[in-house]
Chains A and B, each alone.
Chain A
Amino acid sequence: MSPLFTPLKPVAPALRTVLGIACFVLFFLGWGIATYGGFVKPLFLASPGDTLTAGIALFREFGFAEDIAVTVWRVFAGFVMAAALAVPLGILMGAFKPVEAFFEAFVSFARYLPASAFIPLLILWAGVGELQKILVIFIGSVFQLIIMVTVIVSGIRSDLVEAAYTLGAKRDGVVLRVLLPAASPQIFEALRLVLGWAWTYVIVAELVGASRGIGHMIIDAQRFLDTGQMIFGIFIIGVIGLITDLLFRALNARLFPWAKGR
């Protein structure tokens, strides 16, 4: 067996980068062969070149930068609202079992309600304005996040809590100065994951009853059968997702250096 493929054996950083880029190269290569080779009709799949041209036109002529800004703002607003409720509630549920017993069944139920199914109702309640889009993201993220934070806090090592008690910590001290800092790196990681899901909800919200945003642009492009624009829009979402992911990772490493390698 090749020594490269020993289970759990790490790869060298340089090789890691090369392999990561190679996957993208292969992806574009396959895309290029399928389109330039004439295997797929341009109506169904635009070539990489046409997609890029469409993207440039979007920025130059259709104010796509503004669409991106609007979508980013919606994700941010909905996500911050969800986090502002879910993180404290999750910590309380993790720390205090009666609170968990009260909310757990309901949250587990609500978690399975698809956020997109709420869109018609939300339009009825909140119209087709910003609030409705933000609420879709909020509903889609908040219940997942509550459960994740609860599980994280429940899983904090009990011997750390016991040590704190023998050092004279009281209830509030244990929650604020043991459970909270101990859970922070993992809560941060949960936020990173849920932010990814928030991106899927915003596009769904923008496909219906929106006048701006990346999702709206994609629907608009569909009307004109402009596959280049559609693909470019989807592509941009991936790029923004990748950037926020990297930012979150960098921030996590910066804020919680002590948790490195756990």
Chain B
Amino acid sequence: MSKLSIRNVEKTFPGRNSTAPTRALVPTSLEVADNDFITILGPSGCGKSTLLRIVAGLETPTAGEVLLEGKAVSGPGPDRGMVFQSYTLFPWLTVRDNVCFGLRERGLPRAEQLAIADRFLAQVGLKGFENHHPAQLSGGMQQRTALARALANDPKMLLLDEPFGALDHQTRELMQELLLGIWEADRKTVMFVTHDIDEAIFMASRVVVMSARPGRIKCDIPIDLPHPRSYKVKTTPEFAAYKERLTEEIRVETIKAVTMER
């Protein structure tokens, strides 16, 4: 049985002020196996974030359903941890209390919260920053905290919506290695949305390419690169071959998207 089943999910946003409704997603189906790391790759405005938000329960599909371990998703919940593209740490809480947030909502004793928070903060390399406030951290550190915060809840799945999109290139690559390392260690099922081809290939066990609006799944490519992967894999011929293929797929869609906008 799949960990996650997306079944004929579609989404149409109603038009505002007599504009036509926007069809963000045509009926889409996708199966995600347990321990899979899938990246959803597509040009901007292809509905990839909408698909992820539907899985998160933050958006209700116009039709179709999402099943997590066989149970229908009806709203957001701690079983699907999410990291957003925008910085969503609670600015009034310290780094440690941000990571404790979900545990506290669950009613865990404080001592247990702290033990878990410190473990995950160590895992993302933020030991020593527990008492900082988010405003005192760099963008990369904020997203690492957000990752620790999502992981601390021990979710069944991790959903990431272009979490490194606002970071500079070098930080982004380090973050990819960090996330991949965490995944290699405990193989939590991950769904990762991005428009960056290198990022999509480097971390994924499967890359799902989405087409320009209205969004639909165009192709689904398993990435057969050995684990543990180091950043050096990015310069191998195998990686280049994947990149060449995906570049073609994405290019066609981007051109379509751009011409539609005119």
Contact = CB atoms under 8 A, between A and B. Distances in A.
Interface core residue of A162, A166, A168 (most chain B CB under 10 Å):
A166
Contacts of B75: 165
B90 A166 contact: no
A140 B1 CA distance: 64
B143 interface: no
A167 interface: yes
A170 B82 CA distance: 16
Interface stretch (B4-12, B27-35, B100-108, B223-231): B100-108
Given A162-B58, A164-B101, A166-B56, A182 B76 contact: no
B149 to A, nearest CB: 7
Contacts of A163: 82, 84, 88, 90, 146
Contacts of A170: 105
Nearest to A172: B105
A210 B91 CA distance: 48
Interface in B40-78: 56-58, 75-78
A55 to B, nearest CB: 44
Given A159-B84, A258-B133, A258-B135, A166 B92 contact: no
A168 B135 contact: no
Task: Determine the interface band of chain B, counting residues with CB < 8 A from chain A.
Answer: 20 to 34
Nearest to A181: B92
Interface in B173-217: none
B90 A182 contact: yes
A168 B81 CA distance: 9
B247 interface: no
A159 B90 contact: no
Nearest to B80: A166
Given A173-B105, A181-B92, A258-B92, A168 B77 contact: yes
A167 B84 contact: no
A204 interface: no
B92 A168 contact: no
A160 interface: yes
A165 B106 contact: no
Nearest to B133: A258
B153 A168 contact: yes
Interface core residue of B56, B105, B135 (most chain A CB under 10 Å):
B105
Nearest to A184: B92
B86 interface: yes
Contact of A160 (B58, B88, B102, B105): B88
B150 interface: yes
A166 B81 contact: yes
B92 A165 contact: no
A151 interface: no
B106 A166 contact: no
Given A159-B86, A162-B58, A162-B76, A167 B105 contact: yes
A255 to B, nearest CB: 10
Contact of B90 (A178, A184, A256, A261): A178
21 contacts: A162-B76, A162-B82, A162-B88, A164-B101, A166-B56, A166-B57, A166-B78, A166-B82, A166-B159, A167-B78, A167-B153, A168-B102, A177-B105, A178-B90, A181-B90, A184-B92, A256-B92, A257-B133, A258-B92, A259-B91, A261-B135
Interface of B: 56-58, 75-78, 80-82, 84, 86, 88, 90-92, 101-102, 105-106, 133-135, 146, 149-150, 153, 159
